[in-house]
Amino acid sequence: MPPPIRFHLNFVGDVMLGRLIDQLLPTHVYCPEEAELIAYFVAGNAALKNYNFKSPWGNTLPLFHAADLNLINLETSITTNPKPWPDKVFNYRMHPANIQCLKEAHINYASLANNHTLDFSEEGLLDTVRKLKDAGIPFAGAGESREEALQPAVLGLKDGEDAYTVHVYSASDHPEDWSAVPKFHLIDYLPSTRNRLKQLLTTPAVKPDLKVFSVHWGPNYAWMPAQEIQSLAHFLIDECGVDMIHGHSSHHIQGVEVYKGRLIIYGCGDFVDDYAVNAKFRNDLSAIWRVEVQKSEGAEGRRLRVRRLEVFPSRIKRFQANLLDKADTDHEWVKRRFGMLCEGFGTEVHKELGDQGQIVVDVDNGD
Ligand SMILES: [Zn+2]
C-alpha cells in the first residue's frame, strides 16, 4: 500500500511586528517616541543593532520552512498612515517594507480580523490589504469591500499531480466600535450571527478539502474560554462543516478540545511581539501549533482529515521568538499548563514528548 498522503500546517497566534519591532528594522514608520524607546533597548543590547527581517523568528525558521503551509494572526496594520483610530489605547503599524519578514518565514496566510487592523483608520486597513495582495500572501477577515472581508482565503496543497484546497475564514469578536466598518469581519454570539455564518460557510459551490475558521475572540488573561465561545466553536463544527478552529487573542496559551474528531485550538498565545511580560499568564510563552492532516475518502468524498496536533513550545525574548529546548524550565511550564488546560476539555495529551520535544495530541486517527 502506498503511504498515506499527509501535509503539515503550522499555526501561530499573534504576530505583532509593529511598534518597537518596526523601529528595530532598518526601514520603519516615522515615530520619534518609539524610536527613542528602542534606542534605549539597543544601547543595552548591542546584538539588536543587527536586527533584520529574519530576526523576529529566531530559531523557529526551519520549522516554518519545512511546513506545507504557515498561518498566522497578523496583529498589526501595515501602513505609514499617520491617523490613529481615535481614543484607542494601543495602535500598531509596521512599515510596508517589513512585509519581507513574512516572506522570510514563508507565511502563506494572515488573519486580519483582529483588534489592530484598523489602528490607523480605514486607510491603514486598505494599505494592509493591498500590501498583502502585492506580496501574494492570502488573507481573510478584512478587505477592500464587505464581500472581500467575509470571503475565505483559498490556499493550495500539492502532492504530485493531486491538488488540495484549504479555505480559511477569519472573524473577530472585538472591538465592537468597528461594527460600523463593513471592510472588517466582526462577529458576536447572537443567533442572527450564527445564521449568517452558516450561510457564509456552507454556500460556496466548490467544497474545500479542509475548512478552517481563524478567530480572534475572548477577553485577555482568562485560562478557559467562556461558555458562549465553546458553544460557537461547536456550532461551527456541527452546522458549518469546519474541520478546525484557529483561536487567538488571549495573549497566552489555552487548552485544545477534540470535538467529534475535529480540532479546536482556543488560544495560540502571542508568537512574537514587544509586550511586557505578565508573570502569571506568561504571555512570553507560546508555541508553533503544527497540525498534521491526512487524505481520506469517506461518504462526503475526498477530504483532508486533521490527524494530530504537535505543540512546539516557544518563548519571546528581546523581540524574537525561539523554540524551547525540552530541558528548559519554561518548556516544562508550557507542557504542564497545556496539559492542565486540556484536562478541562477531556483532551488526552501524550505522556511522552515527540522526538523534537513537541507535545502531542491525537485528533482523529481514523481508527
Ligand atoms: Zn488582539
- Is residue 332 included in any domain, yes or no? yes
Contacts of 81 (CB under 8 A, 6+ apart): 93, 120, 121, 123, 124, 127
User: Which CATH number covers residue 272?
Assistant: 3.60.21
Q: Going residue by residue through the chain (367 aa), what tens digit of pLDDT does each one get?
A: 888 999 999 999 999 999 999 999 999 999 999 999 999 999 999 999 999 999 999 999 999 999 999 999 999 999 999 999 999 999 999 999 999 999 999 999 999 999 999 999 999 999 999 999 999 999 999 999 999 999 999 999 999 999 999 999 999 999 999 999 999 999 999 999 999 999 999 997 789 999 999 999 999 899 999 999 999 999 999 999 999 999 999 999 999 999 999 999 999 999 999 999 999 999 999 999 999 999 999 887 899 999 999 999 999 999 999 999 999 999 999 999 999 999 999 999 999 999 999 999 999 977 5
Of the candidates 219, 214, 215, 213, which has an alpha carbon nearest to the alpha carbon of residue 238?
213
Dump the DSSP string for 248-304: E-SSS---EEEETTEEEE----EEE--PPPPTTT-TTEEEEEEEEEEEEEETTEEEE
**Residue 127 CA, ligand 1 centroid: distance in Å:** 19
Q: Please give the pLDDT value at position 254.
A: 98
**Residue 361 CA, ligand 1 centroid: distance in Å:** 26
- Is residue 367 included in any domain, yes or no? no
CB-based neighbours (< 5 A) of ligand 1, an ion: 114-115, 249
- Is residue 1 included in any domain, yes or no? no
Expressed as residue numbers, the domain containing 246 is 6-362
C-alpha cell at 363: 485528533
Q: Tell me the pLDDT tens digit for each residue of 221-257.
A: 999 999 999 999 999 999 999 999 999 999 999 999 9
- Is residue 247 included in any domain, yes or no? yes
**Residue 115 CA, ligand 1 centroid: distance in Å:** 5
**Residue 216 CA, ligand 1 centroid: distance in Å:** 7
**Residue 25 CA, ligand 1 centroid: distance in Å:** 22
Q: Please give the pLDDT value at position 292.
A: 98
**Residue 255 CA, ligand 1 centroid: distance in Å:** 18
**Residue 258 CA, ligand 1 centroid: distance in Å:** 24
**Residue 75 CA, ligand 1 centroid: distance in Å:** 6
**Residue 298 CA, ligand 1 centroid: distance in Å:** 38
Furthest-apart CA atoms within the chain: distance in Å:
63
Of the candidates 174, 140, 162, 170, which has an alpha carbon nearest to the alpha carbon of residue 209?
162
**Residue 249 CA, ligand 1 centroid: distance in Å:** 5
Helix (H) or strand (E) holding 77: strand 77-78
- Is residue 224 included in any domain, yes or no? yes
Q: Please give the pLDDT value at position 367.
A: 55
Yes or no: say if 274 and 17 are a contact pair by the CB < 8 Å rule. Answer: no
Dump the DSSP string for 27-58: S----HHHHHHHHHHHHH-GGGGG--TTGGGG
Q: Please give the pLDDT value at position 299.
A: 81
Measured in whole angstroms, the distance separating CA 257 from the mean position of its chain's CA atoms is: 17
**Residue 50 CA, ligand 1 centroid: distance in Å:** 28
**Residue 229 CA, ligand 1 centroid: distance in Å:** 16
Residue 89 half-sphere exposure, CB side, CA atoms within 13 Å? 2
**Residue 72 CA, ligand 1 centroid: distance in Å:** 12
Measured in whole angstroms, the distance separating CA 97 from the mean position of its chain's CA atoms is: 21
| Number of Cβ atoms within 10 Å of the Cβ of 53 | 18
Q: How many domains does the chain divide into?
A: 1
Of the candidates 115, 30, 129, which has an alpha carbon nearest to the alpha carbon of residue 78?
129
- Is residue 306 included in any domain, yes or no? yes
**Residue 270 CA, ligand 1 centroid: distance in Å:** 9
In this prediction the pTM is: 0.98
**Residue 41 CA, ligand 1 centroid: distance in Å:** 24
**Residue 267 CA, ligand 1 centroid: distance in Å:** 11
SS3 333: helix
CA distance 364 to 367: 8
